[in-house]
Structure 1
Amino acid sequence: MAASFNGHTDVVQTLIEAKAQINTQEEDGRTALHLAAQKGKVDVVRLLTEAQALVNIQTEDGMTPLYIASEEGHGAVVNLLLQQHADVNICKKNGWTPLMTASLNGHTDVVQALIEAKAQINTQKEDGRTALHMAVKKGKVDVVRLLTEAQALANIWTKGDRPIDIARSNGHSEIVEILQRM
């Protein structure tokens, strides 16, 4: 697993050729693919997926390699995992989706890729928050634009607030303008 985390493609290739168990999970459920995705090691991700690494395998708390790559903003890894049919809508146990974490962190290229891969735009966590709520709260204007263009619902309430209320209370005037035009 250390070879995957550190991007040592030659070592990973040797291990694959030696029939190493590439889907072995650590105590928290992470695999070599999770670790390579976390560090943005696209060449290692490619080697592992070509060797039939499980792209939708989840950690103890429900993170997939796609979720981790989305959270970290590794667009090339996200695109590669999507090409390998990673499920764009698998939620963590707490209800977070790859789209939510990418939106919160302002990873515009990842958000675009997930939308194009048919991510469910309006999935809600238990508290009602969607990817739009998260992008609005953090002031991620470009992500808000992408989500609204993809038909994100701006009238979903969460704990008494709609996205426009959140934008107003956080002083995000440009986002308020975007949401008013919806």
Structure 2
Amino acid sequence: MVRLTSITTRTGDDGQTSLADGTRVSKADARIVAQGSVDELNAAVGLAAAMGAAGVAGLLQRIQNDLFDLGADITVPDSAKTEQSLRMTARHIEALEQAVAEVNGRLQPLSSFVLPGGTVAAAHLHVARTIARRAERDVWALAAEAEINPLIGQYLNRVSDLLFVMARDANDGGRGDVLWVPGGADT
């Protein structure tokens, strides 16, 4: 169990922070940037849950918990990982793929690209989806300079897929999706 007794530590006031193994790095380090995007994603998922994404609150909470585990996987350099280190695994990805298939199975087929919007819950899920895509890009940028668990990027890719179908589900099973009309702004 984690116990936080002091929130203000002043240890980051010089633009440096610590990785989970104690290594000091710049707050602009690719590992910290990726972790920050994952943290932002987690907050956006929490907001979507709070905004009433009907019937998926438990799934969103599971994603939030997974994102904390994923963050731990990012912040511990591979060279410092132990058997007790939290790691993303194939089972995390398989669970997301099952959820995508389940939610997608109840949706109207797509006839166009979907514009982010519709209900308030769907709009928040779309925002979370775009943050997931950025977090994924940040993780792959980190992977270009440091060895990381490749399942981290795969997990974020599947999360964005799930958030997309959840947003469609929040738009009355896709019937309330706002569809892209090519050149529609000109008409």
Q: Name the TM-score class by shorter chain.
A: under 0.3
TM-score normalised over the length of structure 2: 0.26
Q: Between Structure 1 and Structure 2, which shows a larger proportion of strand residues?
A: 2
Q: Between Structure 1 and Structure 2, which shows a larger proportion of helix residues?
A: 2
